[in-house]
Structure 1
Amino acid sequence: MLDNQLSKATLLLAIEHLKLLFPDKVFYFPSYEIVIDELRDYRFYADDMLHPSTLAIRYLWERFSETFFSSQTKQLMAEVEEIERDLAHKPFHPESEAYQRFLEQIVLKIERLGTKCPYLEFQKEIELCHMRLKL
């Protein structure tokens, strides 16, 4: 326990020094402190009771996103997550006309997002849709 606290203190001192040197470029996000102070319940820890659970990681990610991401970035993330969710859909009848239209809608979403954000790479997702469309 002492070694853990000592290493954390050393990291905090290093961060503080870097913040003084580069005040506009270095930010500290207190994930450790959030886990220790806010997420004390056992459900926020994995089975080994040392590491954060999936729930804790999701909570930290939401706090991190709220702290550092612009509204445009959050909107983009929501659009990409929607495409990922759609692609993860497992149809009962993959050959049905309804599922084929669903895949075509995914391709349209990807193309619209690709036009808006040409720096994003969706080639594998488009290929997956086209492969499923040929079934």
Structure 2
Amino acid sequence: MQKHDYELHMDDNGLEIDTLTDKQLLQVAETIKLIKSKEAEEQHLNRIYWFKATILPILQDFAKCSSSSFEMEQDDEGIIAVSFRNPNGIEIMWDSLCIKFALSLATSVTISCDDGESILLLTYDCNRLT
């Protein structure tokens, strides 16, 4: 049997911190910043991975089912823009639950027309996917 103790013993930590020198306290502060930064980056990458593993296949399937062209752009901040273009219009049926789910997660939904093509533009902010 494996046993893991994840309890925080703050009393012991507090006593240890009280005995640190100023130089050691600076090192502790820098280490804390590094840990938080690394964790934030991991969360950012996990959210992008989740989008690509969960939402992207839904969007690609919708493009195929609706005979639409599909484009996706992503920036370094985790903003993903997906566009569908179709000269015959883009229809979302009442029972298309997956695409409705994907639409509900978009931070912006834009419907427009250009050169006779219907355009559906979905913008996702992966930082808001929690």
State TM-score, norm by structure 2. Answer: 0.29
Q: Which has the larger radius of gyration?
A: 2
Greater strand share, 1 or 2?
Answer: 2
Q: Which has the higher contact order (CA 8 A, sep 6+)?
A: 2
